[in-house]
Structure 1
Amino acid sequence: MAQKVLDAQPFSRLVRARITRFGDGAATLEIDIREELHQQNGFVHGGVLAYAADNSITFAAGTTLGPAVLTAGFSIQYVRPATGARLVARATVAHSGRRQAVVRCELFAVRGEDGAGPAEHAEDAEVLCAIAQGTVLSTA
């Protein structure tokens, strides 16, 4: 169901986003990194990271507030450039009330199977790129 909702968003289809986890106060959104998503220096564009944070935050909140939700606002801090094969945005609900939820999100770049990307060792396959926090409101 969550993937169906995501697929109904034209921009999500454009970046080819997919939900890989949904439930129990959490959501994970993944995007394969491709050239069209880069900025001029070869890193994933900050707007793509912001999109991934926003959507994963909203989906995570939806697991506690129900499906009728909208992001009220969020902030994002970029900690290093995103390069690699895949972008992963993991969001978890920090607090949920009757009408709103506060959600944290960490965004990681994952190196490719061929070793491409920022990681030097197998245990470093995920590299933290950004941290976000947002408030989501129930519209029901």
Structure 2
Amino acid sequence: MIDLDFARRGLESQPFSRLLGARLAEFGDGAATLELDIRDELKQQNRYLHGGVLAYAADNALTFAAGTVLGPELLTAGFTIDYLRPATGVTLRARAVVVQAGRSRATCRCEVYTVDGDGAATLCAAAQGSARVVRASGTVPG
């Protein structure tokens, strides 16, 4: 399978992930953790981190977790997210784990936290989703 350095290069190859400043903190054994710094330009009008940023983090963490068991040729098949409380702090952390995997699809859960300046984490969203293996042509293996 793939290791943390390979996975980090994959994340860095995503222009949107670079724009957000995302980084992969953990990758392997059915889990992945994605982090990014909370900056003013990522907030909405009430000064909370925008829900789209939380959804991005959950989506990518879910798919990277799936990649620990299925390999790198994946796409998100779908996911749902529940926003539990407004996201404030200095760091956003999304940790996803595989809950079931087959040959071509994995289902994962993700908890999204904000971390304050003292290192205290607060759960702000929860997500569940799946990723599926795709061929280079974009087709699903039959």
TM-score by length of 1: 0.91
Give 1:127's aligned residue.
Answer: 122
* 1:39 alignment partner, one of 41, 44, 60: 44
Give 1:19's aligned residue.
Answer: 24
Return 5+ residue gaps in structure 1 as ranges: 114-121
CA shift for structure 1 position 132: 0.2
Moved over 4 A (4+): none
Counterpart-to-counterpart distance in 2, 1:2 and 1:66: 10
Give 1:136's aligned residue.
Answer: 131
* 2:86 alignment partner, one of 78, 81, 91: 81
Deviations 1:85-136 (A, max 9, x none): 00000000000001100000000000014xxxxxxxx7xx100000000011
Give 1:116's aligned residue.
Answer: none
Counterpart-to-counterpart distance in 2, 1:108 and 1:34: 15
TM-score by length of 2: 0.90
- Paired residues for 1:57-72 under 5 Å: 57-72=62-77
Fraction of identical pairs, as percent: 61
